[in-house]
Structure 1
C-alpha cells in the first residue's frame, strides 16, 4: 500500500507539471490572440506570467520530479520532505500564475517569486545531501546543473539594488535579468536534461570524450553570457569572449556526438518510435541552437538579433519547447511515466511537435523578413495563432493520457535495454 501511495503521489506530481505547462501554453495562445483581437488585458503582465509558469512550473518542477525518481536512493526519495516541498513550490507557482496577470512585477508576484527561489535552495541542499554519492558522468552533469541553478539567482538578488540605484531602464537591471536567464536555460536546465539523457548509457560512455565535452561546455556557458551583456554594454572585448565561448560550445558538442556515436545503433534499437521522435526533436533543436549561436557571430546579425522580437521568441522556444521539453518528454516516455502505447499520447505528441515546428518556422521567417527590410510576413499573426492551437491541443491530449498511465515502481531503470522498458 505504501508503494502504491508513493507511485500515486509521483503521478500526481507529473499531472501537476503538465497542468502548469498547459496553463502557460494557454497564456501564450492568449498573447497571440491579442494581436488579432485586442482586449483589455495587459500584455506585459501576461508575458511575465507565461514565462514564469513555463520556466518554474513546468521545466523546474518536471526536472524536480525526475531527479527525485532517478537520482535519489529509494529510501531518500520517499522521505515526506520531498512531497511537501513539491506542493509548497507548486503553491508558489500558482501564486505567480494568478498575481502576474493582475499586477505584473509588484508585491504579491515578487513574494511568490522570492518564495520559489528560497524553496529551490532547499531542494538543492536536499539533493546535494541525499543524491550525490556517485561520481559517474551523468552525476557530474547534474551536480554542475544544481550549482548553476543557485549561481543564476545572483542575478535576481541584484534586481532590487539595480532598481533602487539606477531604475528599471538601466543597463545594470537588464544585465541582471539576462544573467539569471542565461544560467537558468544554458546552465541549470540544459545540464539537467543532458544528465537525464546520458544516465541511460550508464558506463558505456567513453570517459575521455566525456571529460573534454564536460569541461568545454562549462567554460562555454560562462563565456557566452558575454553576448546578452553586450546588448547593454559597448565593449569589443565582450564580442571576443562570446566568440570564444560559442566556438568552445561547438567543439563540446562535437565531442558529445563522438561520445554517443558508438552507442547510437544500440540506443535506437531499444527505443519505441514515439521516444525516437521526441529525442530526435531535442537533439535537432540542440544542434540548431548551436548553429544559430554561430550565425550571430556575424557582426551585423548579432547587433540586430535582439532587436527583432520574433528572433528572440523563436530562440527561446527553440530552447524551452525543443531542447528542454524534448528531452523531458523522451525520459518520461522511455521510463514509462508516460505510456507510448496510449493513442492519446501519440496523437498529442504529434500535434505538439507539428505546432512547435510550424511556429518556429513562422517566427524565424518573420524575423528574416524584418531583418532584410521586407516588412511583416503576410498573414503572420493569423497563421501563428492557428498553429499555436496545435501546441495547446497536443499538451491537452498528453495530460489526458497520464490519467490512464500505470506508474511503474521506482526500481525500474532508465536504461533502454531494461526488459521492463522495452517489452
Structure 2
C-alpha cells in the first residue's frame, strides 16, 4: 500500500475534523464563516476526501493485481476535486465552483467503478460479491445528486423532493457503498469462506439496505406503508447482523493470535459500533422514537457520527493498523486512544443532550464548551497517527541506509 496515498487520506480527514471542530466552536463564539457553508465543506471532505479515497487506496491495493498507472493518476485528480470542494464550499456553499468539483468527483467515481470491475482479481468469493455490490450502490447513490437540480427548479430546496434526493444519496453512500465495502475488506482479511450462511447474509444485507431507505423518505413524505417497509427492513437488517456475528465467530481465535492487541482492539471497536448502529435502528420501529430522531438534531448528528466515525472509520483505521505502514509505539497508541475517546465522549454528550431536549429538560451545564473540548481529541488522534506513519517511514529509510553501508 502506498504510504503517501494513505497520508493524503488522513490529512483530508484531519482537515474535515478541524472543520468540525470549528463548527463546534461556533456555538461558543462567532468564527467568521457561514455555518451552513462550512458544514457542507466538512461533510464533503470527510466523505469524499477521507472515506472514498481511503477505500479507493485499499481496494486497489488488495483487489487489483496489476497496478496500472491509471489508478495512481485517478487518485490524484480525484484529490484535486476534493481540494476544490475543500476551498470552495466554506466560502460559497452550493454554487458554481463547488458544484463543478462535486460533479467531477462523481464522474471520477464512475470511472473508478469501471476500472475496478474490469481489473479486479478477487479469489475470495464473499469479498468479490460484496465489493461489486458496494460499487453498484455507489453508482446508484448518485441518482439522488442528479435529482437535486430538477428538484430545485421545479419545487425549491424546501420541497420533499429535494430533501428525499439528498437522503437517497446519503443512505446509499453510507449504508450501501461505504459500509458494504469495509465489510468486503474485512472478510478478505479474515479469509472468510463461501458458505450457505454467507449467501443468506449477503441477500439479507442487500434487501435491508434497500428497504431502510423508507425511513428518511417517511420523514418528508409520511405514509403508513413507508413505516411498515422500514420496519421490515430494520428487522431483516438485525437478522443480517446476527448472521454477520455467526460468520466471523469461527475466525476469532486465529485473528487474536495473528494481530497486535491494538489492532484487535480497533476491530472490536468497529464491530461494536456496527452492532450498536443496527440495534439503535431497531428503535425506529417505535413511531415516536423515529419522529424524535428526526426532530432533534443531536440524535441525527450522533447517529451519523456513529456510522461515519465508529463503524466506517473504525474499520478503516483497523486496516491501516494491519498494514506495514505503522510502528507500534506510543504515538500510534496515543492517536488511536485519543480518537476513540473523543468519539465516545462526544457521542455521549450528543445523546444525553438530545434526550434532555426530548424530555424538555433544557441544556446541560457547559454543554457547548464540553462538546468542543472533547472534539479536540479527534483531530489530535489523527495528527498522532500521521506522525507515526511518517516516523516509521524515516525509521525504514535509516534502517535501509544502515544495511547498505
Q: TM-score range by the shorter chain?
A: over 0.9
Match of 1:241 in 2: 229
Mapped to 1, the partners of 2:241 and 2:165 lie a distance apart of 28
8 Å Cα contact 1:205-1:259 kept in structure 2: no
- The 5-angstrom pairing of residues 22-421 of structure 1 reads 22-73=14-65, 76-77=66-67, 79-131=68-120, 134=123, 136-202=125-191, 204-205=192-193, 207-339=195-327, 341-406=328-393
8 Å Cα contact 2:110-2:139 kept in structure 1: yes
Mapped to 2, the partners of 1:240 and 1:218 lie a distance apart of 18
8 Å Cα contact 1:355-1:387 kept in structure 2: yes
Give yes or no for the alignment of 1:13 onto 2:5. yes
Aligned to 1:296, the other structure's residue is in SS state: helix
Deviations along 1:275-306, whole A, 9 cap, x unmatched?
A: 01211110111000011100121111111211
Q: Which has the higher contact order (CA 8 A, sep 6+)?
A: 1
Unmatched segments (≥5 aa) in structure 2: 395-405
Count the aligned residue pairs: 394
8 Å Cα contact 1:132-1:143 kept in structure 2: no
Mapped to 2, the partners of 1:174 and 1:259 lie a distance apart of 37
Mapped to 2, the partners of 1:246 and 1:132 lie a distance apart of 33
Unmatched segments (≥5 aa) in structure 1: 1-6, 408-423
Comparing 31-40 with 129-138, greater Cα deviation is found at 129-138
Aligned to 2:220, the other structure's residue is in SS state: coil
Q: Structure 1 or 2: larger helix share?
A: 2
Comparing 257-266 with 278-287, greater Cα deviation is found at 257-266
Residue 40 of structure 1: CA displacement? Answer: 2.4
Deviations along 1:152-172, whole A, 9 cap, x unmatched?
A: 000000001111111111100
User: Normalising by structure 2, what TM-score?
Assistant: 0.95
8 Å Cα contact 2:148-2:162 kept in structure 1: yes
* 1:400 to 1:133, Cα distance in 2 relative to 1, 3 A: closer
Comparing 330-339 with 96-105, greater Cα deviation is found at 330-339
Aligned to 1:231, the other structure's residue is in SS state: helix
* 1:324 to 1:133, Cα distance in 2 relative to 1, 3 A: closer
Mapped to 2, the partners of 1:270 and 1:39 lie a distance apart of 47
Mapped to 1, the partners of 2:382 and 2:315 lie a distance apart of 15
Residue 338 of structure 1: CA displacement? Answer: 2.8
Deviations along 1:31-62, whole A, 9 cap, x unmatched?
A: 00010011321000000000000000000000
Residue 134 of structure 1: CA displacement? Answer: 4.2
Mapped to 2, the partners of 1:68 and 1:196 lie a distance apart of 11
Mapped to 1, the partners of 2:287 and 2:125 lie a distance apart of 40
Match of 1:418 in 2: none
Aligned to 2:295, the other structure's residue is in SS state: coil
Aligned to 2:338, the other structure's residue is in SS state: helix
Report the aligned-residue RMSD. 1.3
User: Normalising by structure 1, what TM-score?
Assistant: 0.91
Deviations along 1:110-152, whole A, 9 cap, x unmatched?
A: 0000000000001000000000564611111111000000000
